[in-house]
Chain A
Amino acid sequence: MISQFFVLSQRGDNIVFRDYRGEVAKGSAEIFFRKVKFWKEDGQEEAPPVFNVDGVNYFHVKVVGLLFVATTRVNVSPSLVLELLQRIARVIKDYLGVLSEDSLRKNFVLVYELLDEVIDFGYVQTTSTEVLKSYVFNEPIVVDAARLQPLGPAAIFMQGTKRMPGTAVTKSVVANEPGGRKREEIFVDIIEKISVTFSSSGYILTSEIDGTIQMKSYLSGNPEIRLALNEDLSIGRGGGTVYDYRSSSGSGAVILDDCNFHESVRLDSFDMDRTLSLVPPDGEFPVMNYRMTQEFKPPFRINCLIEEAGQLKAEVIIKVRAEFPSNITANTIAVQMPLPKYTTRASFELEPGAVGQRTDFKEANKKLEWGLKKIVGGSEHTLRAKLTFSQESHANLTKEAGPVSMTFTIPMYNVSRLQVKYLQIAKKASSYNPYRWVRYVTQANSYVARI
């Protein structure tokens, strides 16, 4: 049971504010914002998602730079409230197409209308976009999608992939196409976030894939859908320890440690032929989340060397090698490395002919940054940096710098080899042939090489 719900901008302005029970004083938004902003005096630490001030519990989630907040005095389930906040953001996004401060401000009356139906007297009534459609009457005022940051993992498809219709993922579930016709289409996105830690000698210490099959349907008439996954997919690692890297990766079988499903998913034939059947509700939702610690081939190898090069000087060499096929291209790559605290200067040297690369030494937090627009599969890139120190270093340099961390996005590539074999839409008419988009992407969650 929650008492209030509000959305604050990054500057702390109220964009919407709804009080459901009148149990918490009106000034709660300011109290909350001050607390979040100045959590620790040094500003180093972030405020946790849930905290208590004078008997009031504040919950918040950050979505596209906005703070979605709920308050209550009751000892509720924190998962429930945080999940709810996330879901409210998703419902609003389903309606507005794009979730941003601008679109919220333009549509705040619609948002109030939604909020009134989602929660009554602090109790959740429904968060299903489908159900809400019959209660909600305001029509969204669509804002220009192109210049706004979209929400959710599917957002990455916005960048660079020309094959996708630009407005596809930013289309409101209730708005019609120009001409009043609705385009029949369905999106299935397989999004994998990978975490890898390499030891200083290049061994993989830990690796994990956190994947989601995300769906967004614009199909009319709620047809049933069948989604077939790899036939050799298996779930749960029998016996053995969870981390067992001796199992060969060449065997081809995809083994998930565990997974969970959206409530609309029926698993009647899952055990037999690995198909999921569901009637997709309107709006965006995860069909399945999965987790995998099976060994996989990391898309990048990182080599890093730091050595003294004379008095008060050192050299850093970072090599990144792309170990995926050459028809695949990773984009928006960023490499970071903390340098010794007494570094005063860093001069960089890129390979001859390097394009779309950017280097920087962040004086304030003593960090080296290397950005690459794209990396083609199979290629290798090197960065050399000459460091100048303000004091002599007594200790081992490798204890003063690193680790190297990396972020990237690789479209149309997934490391787990989990696949959607086919996507069947049950509708009789032979002329009915909606657009089906099945897209894959791999992103770095925590990709770290120790030195």
Chain B
Amino acid sequence: MAPPAQSQRSPSPSQPSGVLIMVNSKSEVSDLKLQLRQLAGSRAPGVDDSKRELFKKVISYMTIGIDVSSLFGEMVMCSATSDIVLKKMCYLYVGNYAKVNPDLALLTINFLQRDCRDEDPMIRGLALRSLCSLRVANLVEYLVGPLGSGLKDNNSYVRMVAVMGVLKLYHISASTCIDADFPSILKHLMLHDSDTQVVANCLSALQEIWSAEASTSEEASREREALISKPVIYYLLNRIKEFSEWAQCLVLELVTKYVPSDSSEIFDIMNLLEDRLQHANGAVVLATIRVFLQLTLSMTDVHQQVYERIKAPLLTLVSSGSPEQSYAVLSHLHLLVMRAPYVFSSDYKHFYCQYNEPSYVKRLKLEMLTAVANESNTYEIVTELCEYAANVDIPIARESIRAVGKIALQQYDVNAIVDRLLQFLEMEKDYVTAEALVLVKDLLRKYPQWSHDCIAVVGNISSKNVQEPKAKAALIWMLGEYSQDMQDAPYVLESLVENWDEEHSAEVRLHLLTAVMKCFFKRPPETQSALGAALAGGIADFHQDVHDRALFYYRILRYNVSVAERVVNPPKQAVSVFADTQSSEIKDRIFDEFNSLSVLYQKPSYMFTDKEHRGPLEFADELGNLSIGEAANNVVPTQMVEENDKDLLLTTSEKEETKGSRNNGSAYTVPYDGSSTSVFASQAQIESAVSNPTLAGHSPQASFAIDDLLGLGIPATPAVPSPPQLKLNTKAALDPSTFQQKWRQLPVALSQEISVNPQGVAALTAPQALLRHMQSHSIHCIASGGQSPNFKFFFFAQKFEESSNYLVECVINTSSAKAQVKIKADDQNTSQDFSTLFESALSKFGTS
């Protein structure tokens, strides 16, 4: 194969690297400067080839980080050429250094502007791209002209470049871009250009521009809403197959935000996009799946069908493509499996780990296996997991054992699993024993009836072989809890107490104190000396908690032994459900952000991105940062029981809330200090509160301003109007994610100010009272927050016997006794009626 022509003539320099060259770079750069200067004026034949070689050297230095900005002048001088390869290298160089050399950048404007009028569309496009990439604020005046003609160019390549140029201009100088009216030109192009890449670029540019402008301009936010209006969406959807696969992703992402008016529209869209699920590009498939999931959120049966439909394409994507791509898809599959495990319960074999997979993949699969385990597949899954317990990869082996334990805790029939766990205890591998001990402890807290079998095995474990604090603590807890059944318990505890000073973990020492106490109540004569030693050791302990606990035990024992027993070792009820580590609100938010990094990180975006980078069309921040949990309690009708687990429509938060309320009677948590229950949820709420500290103070003012601009403000009626004919559904239910979706998609139907009577203001010291009050009027709270004087509530209501929703944002200022109310409605015609109803309900608050 022949090498290309020019490289034959003058062999190319391979890219320099390494220390030697860095040392010599200074002299090299000045050498280059000299050579460039010589070539600049030359018209000799072959001069372009020599220039190419020099330019290549310059760019290779640039790549490895050597500063070649001092060559700027010479590079620009050499750029007078018709050689397109040379031009491109020069553009690359100029784009890289113009920002730090604004004065020199001015030199390039001339030839770039000239090139923008070249007869070759390639050159026009390239020059325009470079011109807009200079990123120098005081040169923007030179951009407007070429951009304007670029957008009208008859060549689509130039238009494509020009559209991105507008966006670049916007980032250098937003006002120049807006003043030149470029956004409206883009809007026109988006709807009329024949080239789909031009259309796609317009869409990207407009999304970015309008989103950035929306915070300050009502018009911009209307424009942004207009992007997800029916005509635009339909126009794009009808052409979707003409778009490149990347542009398809863009369009699909936009469609996600669109709310169809009825179910036939939903089915039309889904039928149109059906074959996108067979695309080889995983990004297209995931974007399509997101559309399907979002569209069907409120249609339980169809939503479930969607899960069935997307299973096969997802599994195919996981097994084709590079390991990196398959990881990204697997993370999404993981999310769906965790949401609806029963849909995937027959596919469990796909979640078996392969020996050569990286740990981050295995970990996801272990969680999926745990989730999909049910009566029919548990045996096989547990058998498989036990294979991994002997795995060479120790962290994975540990997690496999934990997975077995989790399955045991979620199953009804645990006989077989208990046997397996007990086998782990006998495997004589330190880490296996350690993990198994922790599990057996949890298991006993849930199934005390197994204590007999377990204790026999646990009793054989020498405490000397258990070193890990968690495992040791678990063993000690069992010794204390079952001291009457374990012959040696007092003596094992005694020997542990003897080594008090060598025990490094405070957690273990705390458990030891409690265990010795419990043992003492059951077998006082045998334990007395150990107790004395433990209390002495504890009181002298340097760790504050250990010290305090020991002192407390000591004093309560002196006060009254039987009281001490009631406090330290009361009769326990079994734990029915162990708390989840991640709050359901967070899970819902992650689901809402399907096909984004949130799914891979298993965190909603506000936890890892700054506000301005959260992606286009992100409306729901404020809503998401308010607490949802408490409200959900009021929303869920009490009769919801087990079937909930089969109901996809219910978000996880509702499911758990119902479970929680069902269990309230029996869910007494055994006082186990090192327990695995976590307080992640409350942490997350604190975090979100911190991430948006200005919320309470600022949003009411903002909404004042917007109300005035909209001119929709309806004067508050002084007298309490009589309730209109509108009837509301008393048992309305709406999950937070649907609420969020609707809230960001529906326009404001009504916006008004309502006076709150003084009794109402007084009653607001407990905002819960308002929630209960409104609920008695069939208006339900979905989220609330804020603190005096500003309280913010989101309410919803449903029309009686119809699925038409009303959404309300209500900001109450207690010092002015006024409520700012914004109402959005599925059915705009009845929003006035609803508003009246809402006002009448609110005005009664505090009086009844």
Contacts and interface: CB of A to CB of B under 8 A. Distances in A.
Interface in B134-163: 135, 157, 160-161
A45 B393 CA distance: 10
Contacts of B2: 175-178
Given A108-B63, A258-B312, A75 B15 contact: no
Nearest to A118: B246
A260 B324 contact: no
A121 B167 contact: yes
Interface string B330-363: 0110000000000000110110101111111000
Interface residues of B, number: 104
A289 B320 contact: yes
B283 A77 contact: yes
Interface string A123-166: 11111100000010111111000000000000000000000000
Given A50-B600, A116-B92, A177-B1, A291 B355 contact: no
A135 B122 contact: yes
B567 interface: no
Contacts of A113: 85, 88
Interface string A319-340: 0000000000000000000100
A450 B387 contact: yes
Interface stretch (A206-214, A220-228, A347-355, A410-418): A206-214
A403 B389 CA distance: 12
B328 A242 contact: no
B157 A135 contact: yes
B428 A394 contact: yes
B619 interface: no
Contacts of A291: 315-316, 319-320
Contacts of A57: 597
Given A178-B1, A242-B347, A76 B355 contact: no
A108 B359 contact: no
B14 A105 contact: yes
B613 A22 contact: no
Contacts of B282: 79, 83
B609 A73 contact: yes
B280 interface: yes
A258 B316 contact: yes
A82 interface: yes
A55 interface: yes
Interface in B42-98: 55-56, 59-60, 63-65, 84-85, 88-89, 92, 96
A22 B99 contact: yes
A14 B65 contact: yes
Contacts of A288: 280
Contacts of B597: 50, 52, 57, 75-76, 78
Contacts of A73: 609-610, 613
A445 to B, nearest CB: 7
Contacts of A259: 278, 316
B348 to A, nearest CB: 9
A242 B88 contact: no
A84 B245 CA distance: 11
Interface in A360-382: 365
B48 to A, nearest CB: 12
B427 A399 contact: yes
A120 B4 contact: no
B552 interface: no
Contacts of B319: 208, 210, 291
A102 B15 CA distance: 9
A78 B328 contact: yes
Contacts of B468: none
B249 A137 contact: no
A113 B2 CA distance: 22
Interface residues of A, number: 99
Interface stretch (B5-13, B227-235, B450-458, B776-784): B5-13
Contacts of B614: 74-75
Nearest to A290: B316
B4 A75 contact: no
A395 B428 contact: yes
A50 B12 CA distance: 36
A216 interface: no
A109 interface: yes
A243 B64 contact: no
B interface secondary structure, majority: helix
Contacts of A121: 164, 167-168
Contacts of A343: none
B273 to A, nearest CB: 14
A400 interface: yes
A262 interface: yes
Nearest to A63: B322
A124 B6 CA distance: 31
B17 interface: yes
Interface in B1-38: 1-7, 12, 14-15, 17
A338 B610 CA distance: 47
A70 to B, nearest CB: 11
B354 A263 contact: no
Nearest to B593: A75
Interface string B799-813: 000000000000000
B246 A263 contact: no
Contacts of B60: 108
Contacts of B286: 77, 79
B181 to A, nearest CB: 20
A106 B12 contact: yes
A79 B393 CA distance: 28
A167 interface: yes
Nearest to B64: A14
B164 A108 contact: no
B349 A124 contact: no
Contacts of B634: none
Interface string B228-265: 00000000000000001110010001000000000000
Interface in B352-403: 352, 354-360, 384, 387, 390, 392-393, 395
A373 B269 CA distance: 55
Contacts of B332: 79
A258 B316 CA distance: 7
A139 B4 contact: yes
A448 to B, nearest CB: 6
B608 interface: yes
A426 interface: no
B596 A260 contact: no
Interface in A232-268: 236, 241-243, 257-263
Interface in A379-420: 394-395, 399-400, 403, 405
B97 to A, nearest CB: 12
A137 B315 contact: no
A45 B593 CA distance: 28
B697 interface: no
A137 B85 contact: yes
Interface string B575-619: 000000000000000000101111111000100111001110000
B129 interface: yes
B609 A138 contact: no
B357 to A, nearest CB: 8
Query: Which of A62, A77, A206, A365 has the largest number of chain B CB atoms within 10 A?
Result: A77
A126 B1 contact: no
B281 interface: yes
21 contacts: A14-B64, A46-B360, A52-B601, A74-B613, A75-B614, A77-B283, A78-B596, A80-B283, A83-B325, A84-B283, A85-B324, A125-B160, A139-B5, A242-B346, A257-B312, A260-B279, A260-B285, A261-B278, A286-B280, A291-B316, A395-B427
Nearest first, the 8 closest Cβ-Cβ pairs linking A and B are: A139-B4, A446-B354, A49-B324, A80-B283, A258-B312, A289-B320, A124-B246, A105-B15
Given A45-B360, A77-B249, A77-B287, 20 more contacts: A13-B17, A14-B63, A22-B135, A57-B597, A61-B322, A78-B331, A79-B283, A82-B322, A83-B282, A86-B322, A108-B63, A112-B92, A123-B201, A197-B352, A206-B352, A242-B349, A263-B279, A290-B316, A291-B316, A291-B320
